[in-house]
């Protein structure tokens, strides 16, 4: 796709090479949607249709057995999905999440990489857009995987 980056992706591309730029960008997203701040996500990679961030394993996101709580991981997955949607959606469209289907596949014993991916042609395929999401341990083991479903519509005329 040769379309120029939208405003969100262009802002990220400007900030990513600055010292602390990725952290500041993630913090700005968390300021806009404060609940994401509870897991302190940090963006690793953002490009059209792909976002990868990290949730550090720390006491505030652990469960009673000392692993990263799956709801914290789902929060991180929704963060990655929201960032990739905002960075990728064509300017004439808008989105809202309408559901999440996930499977817990392994213990989350390390920091977790949260990844959201959208198929290149997905934005052209109608109102139901699936975003593939997964959480991955440091050793590459997938601990959570699934789909976040978006409702995508035309922006209203102004």
- Model pLDDT for residues 13-64, shown as the tens digit of each residue: 999 999 999 999 999 999 999 999 999 999 999 999 999 999 999 999 999 9
Domain span at residue 51 reads: 7-154
Phi first, then psi: give them for residue 49, nearest 5 degrees.
70, 15
Assess if residue 1 is contained within a domain.
no
pLDDT in tens, 105-144: 999 999 999 999 999 889 987 799 999 999 999 999 999 9
Q: How many domains does the chain have?
A: 1
Give the count of beta carbons closer than 10 Å to the beta carbon of residue 32. 10
Residue 67 burial by CB count (10 A; 0-12/13-18/19+): exposed, middle or buried?
Answer: buried
Q: CA neighbours within 13 Å on the CB side: how many for 102?
A: 25
CATH number at residue 73: 3.10.129.10
Assess if residue 54 is contained within a domain.
yes
Assess if residue 61 is contained within a domain.
yes
Give pTM, 2 decimals: 0.93
Q: 33, 34, 68: which is closest to 54 by C-alpha? A: 68
Assess if residue 2 is contained within a domain.
no
Percent of the chain predicted with pLDDT > 90: 90
45 strand-pairing partners: 52
Assess if residue 98 is contained within a domain.
yes
**pLDDT value at 1 more than 50:** no
Assess if residue 37 is contained within a domain.
yes
Assess if residue 66 is contained within a domain.
yes
Cβ-count burial 120-133 (b if 16+ within 10 Å, e if not): eebbeeeeebbbeb
């Amino acid at each position: 796709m040769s379309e120029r980056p939208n405003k969100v992706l262009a802002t990220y591309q400007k900030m990513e090479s600055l010292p602390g730029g990725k952290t500041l960008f993630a913090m700005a997203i968390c300021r806009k949607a404060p609940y994401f701040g509870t897991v302190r996500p940090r963006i690793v990679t953002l490009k059209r249709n792909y976002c990868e961030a990290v949730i550090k394993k720390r006491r505030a996101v652990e469960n009673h057995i000392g692993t990263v709580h799956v709801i914290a991981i789902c929060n991180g997955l929704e963060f990655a999905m929201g960032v990739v949607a905002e960075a990728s959606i064509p300017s004439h469209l808008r989105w809202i999440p309408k559901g999440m289907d996930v499977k817990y596949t392994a213990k989350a014993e390390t920091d977790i990489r949260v990844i959201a991916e959208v198929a290149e042609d997905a934005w052209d395929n109608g109102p139901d857009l699936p975003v593939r999401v997964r959480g991955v341990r440091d050793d590459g083991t997938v601990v959570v995987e699934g789909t976040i479903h978006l409702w995508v519509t035309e922006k209203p005329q102004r």
